Amino acid sequence: MTPDDLFGRLRTRFADVVLARGEVSTSLEPRELLEALAWLRDEPDLAFDFLSDLTCTDWPGLEPRYWVAYHLLSTAHGHRLRVKVGVADGDQPRVPSVTSSYPTADWFEREVYDFFGVVFDGHPDLRRIEMPEEWKGHPLRKTEQLAGVRTRFVGASVPPPDQRGT
């Protein structure tokens, strides 16, 4: 399907569908996610059977704050779709895990948990993946500094760029 056809087809099912720069994306509530993904996979003319990518963007000040993006691909038809889920900030932002239908999401979800602190309900083994196990905080949140954090190595710390000596 061309992006235009896909856009038209998806508007019959979802309220919020956007076609921009030749890419189709739709935004959903976390509770709608699993049902929508199953539908997108099982409709023969859509057949989104491949999860290319899963990641998150942090928008402090927006409501909801975290936007988890799922990049789907249909290996049969070759079209792509971005599904975005807005997750409200709170004690613990939560999204249902898609690992049961897309096993490839396993490490992606661990990475989003590690970097953004978004919890994926139903993930079989949700732990940090890139950062050390004892790391405090979630480094890709916009509220985390680039530097100036204490490293895990005893006695070592990196000052922020503007406070470094020559």
Partner 1 sequence: MTSSVGRPVGSPSTPTSTEIETRSMGVREDTMIINMGPQHPSTHGVLRLVLELEGEVVVGCRPVIGYLHTGIEKNIEYRTWQQGSTFVTRADYLAPFFNELGYCLAAERLLGVEAPPRAQTIRILVTELNRIASHLVWLATTGLELGAISVMLYGFRERETILDVFEAITGLRMNHAYVRIGGVVMDLPEDVPARVGALLGTLEGRIAEYEELLSGNPIWHQRTKGIGVLRAEECLRLGVTGPMLRAAGVARDVRRDEPYCGIDDYEFDVPVEDSADAFGRYLVRIEEMRQSLRIVRQALDRLEPGPVMVEDPKVRWPAQLEVGPDGIGNSEEYVRHILNESMEALIHHFKIVTQGVKVPPGEVYVPVESPRGELGYYVVSDGGQHPYRVHIRDPSFVNLQAVPELVAGGLVADVVAAVASVDPVMGGVDR
Alpha carbon 55 to its chain centroid, in Å, reads 3
130 is a site residue for partner 1 (CB under 8 A): yes
| x-or-dash string of contact with partner 1, 55-94, rule CB under 8 A | x-xx----------x-x---x--x-x-x------------
CB of 77 to partner 1, least distance (A): 10
Establish if 15 lies at the interface with partner 1 (CB under 8 A).
Answer: no
Measured from the CB atom, is 34 or 131 closer to partner 1? Answer: 131
Nearest CA-CA partner of 112 in 71, 141, 80: 141
Query: What gap in Å lies between CA 130 and CA 154, rounded to an integer?
Result: 20
Binding status of residue 51 toward partner 1 by CB under 8 A: yes
Q: Is 119 in the site for partner 1 (CB under 8 A)?
A: no
Give the containing element (helix H, strand E) for 81. strand 80-87
146 touches partner 1 (CB under 8 A): yes
Instruction: Decide: residue 135, CB within 10 A, 0-12 exposed, 13-18 middle, 19+ buried.
Output: middle
HSE-up of 55 (CA within 13 Å, CB side)?
A: 7
Compute, in degrees rounded to 10, the torsion defined by CA atoms 38, 42, 46, 48: 60
Interface region with partner 1, contact rule CB under 8 A, candidates 3-11, 26-34, 87-95, 121-129: 121-129
160 belongs to the binding site for partner 1 (CB under 8 A): no
Distance CA 64, CA 90 (A): 10
* Alpha-carbon span 160 to 105, nearest angstrom: 34
Instruction: Report if residue 39 touches partner 1, rule: CB under 8 A.
Output: no
Residue number with CB closer to partner 1 (31 or 142) = 142
Q: Which residues bind partner 1 (CB under 8 A)?
A: 20-23, 25, 49-53, 55, 57-58, 69, 71, 75, 78, 80, 82, 102-104, 106-107, 115, 124-125, 127-133, 139-140, 146
